[in-house]
Structure 1
Amino acid sequence: MNGPVLFTERLLLRRPMAEDLDAWAAFDADPVAMTHLGGVIERSVAWRQLCAMSGAWDIRGFAMFSVIERATGKWVGRLGPWQPEGWPGTEVGWGVARAFEGTGYAYEATVAAMDYAVDVLRWETVIHTIAPDNVRSWKLAQRLGSYKMGPVTLPAPLQHEQVDAWGQTAAEWRANRSAR
Protein backbone atom coordinates (compact mmCIF):
# COMPACT_ATOMS: atom_id res chain seq x y z
CA MET A 1 0.00 0.00 0.00
CA ASN A 2 1.36 3.41 -1.00
CA GLY A 3 0.83 6.34 1.29
CA PRO A 4 0.74 7.02 4.98
CA VAL A 5 -1.20 5.05 7.55
CA LEU A 6 -2.41 6.94 10.59
CA PHE A 7 -3.50 5.24 13.79
CA THR A 8 -5.79 6.61 16.46
CA GLU A 9 -7.01 4.82 19.55
CA ARG A 10 -9.84 3.10 17.66
CA LEU A 11 -9.22 3.81 13.98
CA LEU A 12 -6.83 3.34 11.12
CA LEU A 13 -6.68 5.93 8.33
CA ARG A 14 -5.18 4.74 5.06
CA ARG A 15 -5.29 5.38 1.35
CA PRO A 16 -8.54 4.17 -0.27
CA MET A 17 -8.29 0.71 -1.82
CA ALA A 18 -10.39 -1.42 -4.18
CA GLU A 19 -11.63 -3.47 -1.22
CA ASP A 20 -13.42 -0.34 0.05
CA LEU A 21 -15.78 -0.19 -2.93
CA ASP A 22 -18.80 -1.97 -1.41
CA ALA A 23 -18.87 0.21 1.71
CA TRP A 24 -17.91 3.36 -0.26
CA ALA A 25 -20.73 2.75 -2.76
CA ALA A 26 -23.22 2.02 0.05
CA PHE A 27 -22.27 5.34 1.67
CA ASP A 28 -22.74 7.14 -1.67
CA ALA A 29 -26.15 5.46 -2.12
CA ASP A 30 -27.43 6.58 1.30
CA PRO A 31 -29.69 9.61 0.73
CA VAL A 32 -29.29 10.81 4.31
CA ALA A 33 -25.48 10.54 4.31
CA MET A 34 -25.30 12.26 0.93
CA THR A 35 -27.71 15.13 1.77
CA HIS A 36 -24.86 17.66 2.00
CA LEU A 37 -22.38 15.86 -0.26
CA GLY A 38 -23.97 16.42 -3.65
CA GLY A 39 -26.71 13.78 -3.50
CA VAL A 40 -26.89 10.04 -4.07
CA ILE A 41 -24.30 8.56 -6.41
CA GLU A 42 -24.73 5.27 -8.21
CA ARG A 43 -22.18 2.48 -7.80
CA SER A 44 -20.44 3.05 -11.15
CA VAL A 45 -19.87 6.72 -10.24
CA ALA A 46 -18.77 5.72 -6.74
CA TRP A 47 -16.13 3.48 -8.36
CA ARG A 48 -14.80 6.40 -10.40
CA GLN A 49 -14.85 8.59 -7.29
CA LEU A 50 -12.88 5.99 -5.33
CA CYS A 51 -10.34 5.76 -8.17
CA ALA A 52 -10.09 9.55 -8.40
CA MET A 53 -9.47 9.80 -4.65
CA SER A 54 -6.80 7.11 -4.83
CA GLY A 55 -5.26 8.75 -7.90
CA ALA A 56 -5.09 12.10 -6.13
CA TRP A 57 -2.59 10.49 -3.76
CA ASP A 58 -0.29 9.92 -6.74
CA ILE A 59 -0.90 13.28 -8.42
CA ARG A 60 -1.16 15.65 -5.42
CA GLY A 61 0.55 13.59 -2.73
CA PHE A 62 -2.56 13.68 -0.53
CA ALA A 63 -6.28 12.94 -0.58
CA MET A 64 -8.94 11.70 1.77
CA PHE A 65 -8.25 8.58 3.77
CA SER A 66 -10.48 5.56 4.13
CA VAL A 67 -11.25 5.29 7.83
CA ILE A 68 -11.26 1.74 9.18
CA GLU A 69 -12.46 0.58 12.58
CA ARG A 70 -9.46 -1.21 14.09
CA ALA A 71 -11.47 -3.67 16.19
CA THR A 72 -13.58 -4.96 13.27
CA GLY A 73 -11.89 -3.89 10.04
CA LYS A 74 -15.11 -2.18 8.95
CA TRP A 75 -15.01 0.85 6.65
CA VAL A 76 -16.25 3.82 8.68
CA GLY A 77 -16.03 6.61 6.13
CA ARG A 78 -13.72 8.86 4.20
CA LEU A 79 -12.08 12.00 5.41
CA GLY A 80 -8.94 14.03 5.30
CA PRO A 81 -7.03 16.48 3.16
CA TRP A 82 -8.73 17.48 -0.07
CA GLN A 83 -8.02 20.15 -2.65
CA PRO A 84 -9.17 19.31 -6.16
CA GLU A 85 -8.56 21.78 -8.98
CA GLY A 86 -10.39 25.04 -8.33
CA TRP A 87 -11.22 24.26 -4.69
CA PRO A 88 -11.51 27.36 -2.47
CA GLY A 89 -8.73 26.28 -0.09
CA THR A 90 -6.86 23.49 1.62
CA GLU A 91 -9.64 21.42 3.12
CA VAL A 92 -9.91 18.63 5.62
CA GLY A 93 -13.36 17.22 4.93
CA TRP A 94 -15.31 14.31 6.37
CA GLY A 95 -18.04 11.83 5.67
CA VAL A 96 -18.88 9.00 8.06
CA ALA A 97 -21.36 6.20 7.40
CA ARG A 98 -24.58 6.49 9.39
CA ALA A 99 -23.88 3.21 11.19
CA PHE A 100 -20.99 4.99 12.93
CA GLU A 101 -22.69 8.29 13.77
CA GLY A 102 -22.54 9.19 17.43
CA THR A 103 -19.40 7.14 18.11
CA GLY A 104 -16.99 10.08 18.13
CA TYR A 105 -15.16 8.54 15.15
CA ALA A 106 -15.55 11.65 12.97
CA TYR A 107 -13.87 13.80 15.60
CA GLU A 108 -11.16 11.24 16.41
CA ALA A 109 -10.23 10.70 12.76
CA THR A 110 -10.46 14.37 11.82
CA VAL A 111 -8.05 15.33 14.62
CA ALA A 112 -5.52 12.87 13.11
CA ALA A 113 -6.18 14.26 9.61
CA MET A 114 -5.79 17.86 10.84
CA ASP A 115 -2.48 16.95 12.49
CA TYR A 116 -1.38 15.37 9.21
CA ALA A 117 -2.41 18.43 7.16
CA VAL A 118 -0.61 20.86 9.48
CA ASP A 119 2.43 18.80 10.51
CA VAL A 120 3.17 16.76 7.37
CA LEU A 121 1.63 18.71 4.49
CA ARG A 122 2.60 22.01 6.17
CA TRP A 123 -0.71 23.68 5.38
CA GLU A 124 -0.93 27.15 6.86
CA THR A 125 -4.75 27.22 6.78
CA VAL A 126 -7.27 24.38 6.91
CA ILE A 127 -10.88 24.87 5.85
CA HIS A 128 -14.00 22.72 5.88
CA THR A 129 -16.66 23.50 3.26
CA ILE A 130 -20.03 23.08 4.97
CA ALA A 131 -23.60 23.72 3.81
CA PRO A 132 -25.27 26.35 6.02
CA ASP A 133 -27.94 23.88 7.18
CA ASN A 134 -25.50 21.05 7.97
CA VAL A 135 -25.65 21.53 11.72
CA ARG A 136 -23.80 18.29 12.57
CA SER A 137 -20.80 19.32 10.47
CA TRP A 138 -20.56 22.84 11.76
CA LYS A 139 -20.76 21.51 15.32
CA LEU A 140 -17.85 19.19 14.52
CA ALA A 141 -15.96 22.12 12.98
CA GLN A 142 -16.54 24.15 16.15
CA ARG A 143 -15.39 21.25 18.32
CA LEU A 144 -12.18 21.20 16.26
CA GLY A 145 -11.70 24.90 16.99
CA SER A 146 -12.72 26.10 13.53
CA TYR A 147 -14.90 29.13 12.98
CA LYS A 148 -17.11 30.33 10.16
CA MET A 149 -15.09 32.31 7.64
CA GLY A 150 -17.93 33.02 5.20
CA PRO A 151 -19.38 31.79 1.92
CA VAL A 152 -17.17 30.27 -0.77
CA THR A 153 -17.79 29.00 -4.29
CA LEU A 154 -16.96 25.44 -5.25
CA PRO A 155 -15.79 24.56 -8.76
CA ALA A 156 -18.09 23.03 -11.40
CA PRO A 157 -20.26 21.04 -11.22
CA LEU A 158 -20.82 22.12 -7.59
CA GLN A 159 -20.71 25.88 -8.18
CA HIS A 160 -24.41 26.29 -7.34
CA GLU A 161 -24.13 24.57 -3.92
CA GLN A 162 -24.27 27.04 -1.04
CA VAL A 163 -21.37 26.40 1.30
CA ASP A 164 -19.45 28.28 3.93
CA ALA A 165 -15.79 27.88 4.70
CA TRP A 166 -15.12 27.07 8.31
CA GLY A 167 -11.49 26.92 9.29
CA GLN A 168 -8.46 27.96 11.24
CA THR A 169 -4.79 28.64 10.74
CA ALA A 170 -2.09 26.12 11.53
CA ALA A 171 -1.05 28.29 14.49
CA GLU A 172 -4.61 28.26 15.82
CA TRP A 173 -4.78 24.47 15.38
CA ARG A 174 -1.52 24.00 17.27
CA ALA A 175 -2.77 26.23 20.11
CA ASN A 176 -6.11 24.40 20.22
CA ARG A 177 -4.34 21.03 20.09
CA SER A 178 -2.10 21.85 23.04
CA ALA A 179 -5.16 22.92 25.05
CA ARG A 180 -6.84 19.50 24.58
Structure 2
Amino acid sequence: MFPIPTLTTSRLILRPMRIEDWPSYRQLMSTERARFMGGPFSEAVAWGMFCSDHAQWDLFGCGALMIDDQATGACVGQVGINAGPLFPEWELGWFVYPEFEGRGYAHEAAKALLQWAKEVRRLPSLVSYVDADNVRSSALAMRLGAVLDGNAARPAPGDLVYRHYPGVSG
Protein backbone atom coordinates (compact mmCIF):
# COMPACT_ATOMS: atom_id res chain seq x y z
CA MET A 1 0.00 0.00 0.00
CA PHE A 2 0.92 3.63 -0.31
CA PRO A 3 1.59 5.64 2.84
CA ILE A 4 -0.44 8.80 3.32
CA PRO A 5 1.69 11.51 1.75
CA THR A 6 2.27 15.05 2.87
CA LEU A 7 2.62 17.27 -0.20
CA THR A 8 3.76 20.86 -0.33
CA THR A 9 3.35 23.63 -2.86
CA SER A 10 4.63 27.18 -2.72
CA ARG A 11 1.73 28.17 -0.43
CA LEU A 12 0.14 24.97 0.83
CA ILE A 13 0.67 21.85 2.85
CA LEU A 14 -1.55 18.90 1.91
CA ARG A 15 -1.54 16.69 4.98
CA PRO A 16 -3.29 13.68 6.51
CA MET A 17 -6.60 14.28 8.21
CA ARG A 18 -6.79 14.77 12.00
CA ILE A 19 -9.73 14.63 14.37
CA GLU A 20 -9.32 18.40 14.84
CA ASP A 21 -10.52 18.75 11.22
CA TRP A 22 -13.92 17.25 12.06
CA PRO A 23 -15.78 20.35 13.38
CA SER A 24 -15.18 22.44 10.23
CA TYR A 25 -15.89 19.45 7.99
CA ARG A 26 -19.13 18.69 9.87
CA GLN A 27 -20.20 22.34 9.64
CA LEU A 28 -19.66 22.51 5.86
CA MET A 29 -21.45 19.21 5.22
CA SER A 30 -24.51 20.35 7.18
CA THR A 31 -25.03 23.49 5.09
CA GLU A 32 -26.61 24.23 1.74
CA ARG A 33 -23.08 24.48 0.30
CA ALA A 34 -22.91 20.67 0.48
CA ARG A 35 -25.69 20.40 -2.12
CA PHE A 36 -23.11 19.87 -4.87
CA MET A 37 -21.94 16.73 -3.02
CA GLY A 38 -25.44 15.36 -2.41
CA GLY A 39 -26.06 17.18 0.88
CA PRO A 40 -26.74 18.79 3.20
CA PHE A 41 -25.91 15.78 5.37
CA SER A 42 -26.83 14.74 8.88
CA GLU A 43 -24.04 14.56 11.42
CA ALA A 44 -24.06 10.74 11.22
CA VAL A 45 -23.71 10.72 7.43
CA ALA A 46 -21.04 13.43 7.51
CA TRP A 47 -19.10 11.41 10.09
CA GLY A 48 -19.24 8.36 7.82
CA MET A 49 -17.92 10.46 4.94
CA PHE A 50 -15.14 11.90 7.10
CA CYS A 51 -14.07 8.42 8.21
CA SER A 52 -14.26 7.11 4.64
CA ASP A 53 -12.08 9.94 3.39
CA HIS A 54 -9.37 8.77 5.78
CA ALA A 55 -9.94 4.99 5.59
CA GLN A 56 -9.52 4.92 1.82
CA TRP A 57 -5.76 5.31 2.32
CA ASP A 58 -5.54 1.86 3.95
CA LEU A 59 -8.09 0.28 1.64
CA PHE A 60 -7.13 1.73 -1.76
CA GLY A 61 -3.88 3.66 -1.41
CA CYS A 62 -5.66 6.98 -1.84
CA GLY A 63 -7.95 9.23 0.14
CA ALA A 64 -8.30 12.78 1.36
CA LEU A 65 -5.71 15.32 2.42
CA MET A 66 -6.49 18.50 4.27
CA ILE A 67 -5.24 21.76 2.77
CA ASP A 68 -3.32 24.07 5.11
CA ASP A 69 -2.14 27.56 4.21
CA GLN A 70 1.57 27.57 5.06
CA ALA A 71 1.61 31.27 5.97
CA THR A 72 -1.25 31.17 8.47
CA GLY A 73 -1.53 27.49 9.40
CA ALA A 74 -5.27 27.66 8.68
CA CYS A 75 -6.97 24.59 7.27
CA VAL A 76 -8.72 25.93 4.16
CA GLY A 77 -10.34 22.78 2.78
CA GLN A 78 -9.76 19.31 1.44
CA VAL A 79 -8.57 17.58 -1.73
CA GLY A 80 -8.74 13.85 -2.30
CA ILE A 81 -8.80 10.86 -4.56
CA ASN A 82 -11.84 8.73 -3.97
CA ALA A 83 -12.22 5.04 -4.78
CA GLY A 84 -14.45 2.15 -3.82
CA PRO A 85 -17.96 0.99 -4.54
CA LEU A 86 -19.50 4.48 -4.68
CA PHE A 87 -17.09 5.65 -7.40
CA PRO A 88 -17.02 4.04 -10.86
CA GLU A 89 -13.44 5.33 -11.38
CA TRP A 90 -10.67 6.98 -9.37
CA GLU A 91 -12.09 10.43 -8.62
CA LEU A 92 -10.25 13.66 -7.88
CA GLY A 93 -12.40 15.90 -5.69
CA TRP A 94 -11.99 19.07 -3.66
CA PHE A 95 -13.72 21.63 -1.49
CA VAL A 96 -12.67 24.88 0.12
CA TYR A 97 -14.31 26.33 3.19
CA PRO A 98 -16.41 29.43 2.33
CA GLU A 99 -14.14 31.97 4.01
CA PHE A 100 -11.19 30.83 1.87
CA GLU A 101 -12.80 30.74 -1.57
CA GLY A 102 -11.45 32.74 -4.48
CA ARG A 103 -7.77 32.48 -3.53
CA GLY A 104 -6.73 29.63 -5.83
CA TYR A 105 -6.35 27.09 -3.03
CA ALA A 106 -8.43 24.36 -4.69
CA HIS A 107 -6.57 24.71 -7.98
CA GLU A 108 -3.15 24.58 -6.35
CA ALA A 109 -4.04 21.62 -4.13
CA ALA A 110 -5.77 19.63 -6.89
CA LYS A 111 -2.87 20.22 -9.26
CA ALA A 112 -0.40 18.89 -6.66
CA LEU A 113 -2.50 15.79 -5.90
CA LEU A 114 -3.09 15.17 -9.60
CA GLN A 115 0.68 15.19 -10.17
CA TRP A 116 1.19 12.79 -7.23
CA ALA A 117 -1.51 10.45 -8.60
CA LYS A 118 0.12 10.33 -11.99
CA GLU A 119 3.81 10.22 -11.01
CA VAL A 120 3.85 8.38 -7.66
CA ARG A 121 0.61 6.39 -7.49
CA ARG A 122 0.64 5.86 -11.29
CA LEU A 123 -3.12 5.82 -11.60
CA PRO A 124 -4.10 5.12 -15.21
CA SER A 125 -6.82 7.77 -15.24
CA LEU A 126 -8.67 10.15 -12.95
CA VAL A 127 -12.05 11.80 -13.28
CA SER A 128 -13.92 14.47 -11.37
CA TYR A 129 -17.65 14.01 -10.86
CA VAL A 130 -19.21 17.46 -10.82
CA ASP A 131 -22.83 18.39 -10.18
CA ALA A 132 -24.15 20.01 -13.38
CA ASP A 133 -25.03 23.18 -11.43
CA ASN A 134 -21.56 23.54 -9.88
CA VAL A 135 -20.13 26.03 -12.36
CA ARG A 136 -17.06 26.81 -10.25
CA SER A 137 -15.96 23.18 -9.96
CA SER A 138 -16.56 22.62 -13.69
CA ALA A 139 -14.35 25.63 -14.44
CA LEU A 140 -11.67 24.34 -12.08
CA ALA A 141 -11.70 20.88 -13.68
CA MET A 142 -11.18 22.46 -17.10
CA ARG A 143 -8.49 24.77 -15.74
CA LEU A 144 -6.70 21.62 -14.52
CA GLY A 145 -6.77 20.34 -18.12
CA ALA A 146 -9.66 17.90 -17.77
CA VAL A 147 -12.09 17.36 -20.61
CA LEU A 148 -15.77 16.48 -20.45
CA ASP A 149 -16.34 12.74 -20.96
CA GLY A 150 -19.98 12.13 -21.83
CA ASN A 151 -19.47 8.36 -22.09
CA ALA A 152 -18.04 7.78 -18.63
CA ALA A 153 -19.96 6.03 -15.88
CA ARG A 154 -21.11 8.35 -13.12
CA PRO A 155 -22.32 7.87 -9.54
CA ALA A 156 -25.31 10.19 -10.04
CA PRO A 157 -27.21 10.52 -13.34
CA GLY A 158 -26.93 14.33 -13.41
CA ASP A 159 -23.17 14.49 -12.78
CA LEU A 160 -20.76 15.76 -15.37
CA VAL A 161 -17.59 13.70 -15.70
CA TYR A 162 -14.31 15.48 -16.37
CA ARG A 163 -11.39 13.26 -17.40
CA HIS A 164 -7.98 14.43 -16.22
CA TYR A 165 -5.95 12.28 -18.59
CA PRO A 166 -7.63 13.15 -21.91
CA GLY A 167 -7.68 10.26 -24.33
CA VAL A 168 -7.47 7.66 -21.54
CA SER A 169 -10.60 5.80 -20.54
CA GLY A 170 -11.18 4.23 -17.15
TM-score, normalised with respect to structure 1: 0.83
State the match for 2:107 in structure 1. 107
AA in 1 matched with 2:91 = E
* Counterpart contact for 1:28–1:34, Cα < 8 Å: yes
AA in 2 matched with 1:107 = H
* Counterpart contact for 1:80–1:114, Cα < 8 Å: no
AA in 2 matched with 1:58 = D
* Counterpart contact for 1:23–1:75, Cα < 8 Å: no
State the match for 2:70 in structure 1. 70
CA-CA distance at 1:52 after TM superposition: 1.8
CA-CA distance at 1:86 after TM superposition: 4.5
* Counterpart contact for 1:30–1:40, Cα < 8 Å: yes
Gaps in structure 2 of 5+ consecutive residues: none
CA RMSD of aligned residues (A): 1.9
Aligned counterpart for 1:168 among listed residues 157, 164, 168: 164
Gaps in structure 1 of 5+ consecutive residues: 173-180
Q: Which whole-Å CA distance do the structure 2 matches of 1:171 and 1:6 have between them?
A: 27
AA in 2 matched with 1:6 = L
* Counterpart contact for 2:79–2:92, Cα < 8 Å: yes
Q: Which whole-Å CA distance do the structure 2 matches of 1:57 and 1:51 have between them?
A: 11
> Which piece of structure 1 moves more, 17-26 or 77-86?
77-86
* Counterpart contact for 2:149–2:163, Cα < 8 Å: yes
Q: Which whole-Å CA distance do the structure 1 matches of 2:115 and 2:43 have between them?
A: 32
* Counterpart contact for 1:5–1:15, Cα < 8 Å: yes
Q: Which whole-Å CA distance do the structure 2 matches of 1:36 and 1:103 have between them?
A: 20
Alignment of 1:24 with 2:58, yes or no, is no
Q: Report 1:37-76 matches (<5 A).
A: 37-76=37-76
Q: Which whole-Å CA distance do the structure 1 matches of 2:105 and 2:59 have between them?
A: 28
TM-score, normalised with respect to structure 2: 0.88
Alignment of 1:139 with 2:135, yes or no, is no
* 3-state SS of 2:163 partner: strand
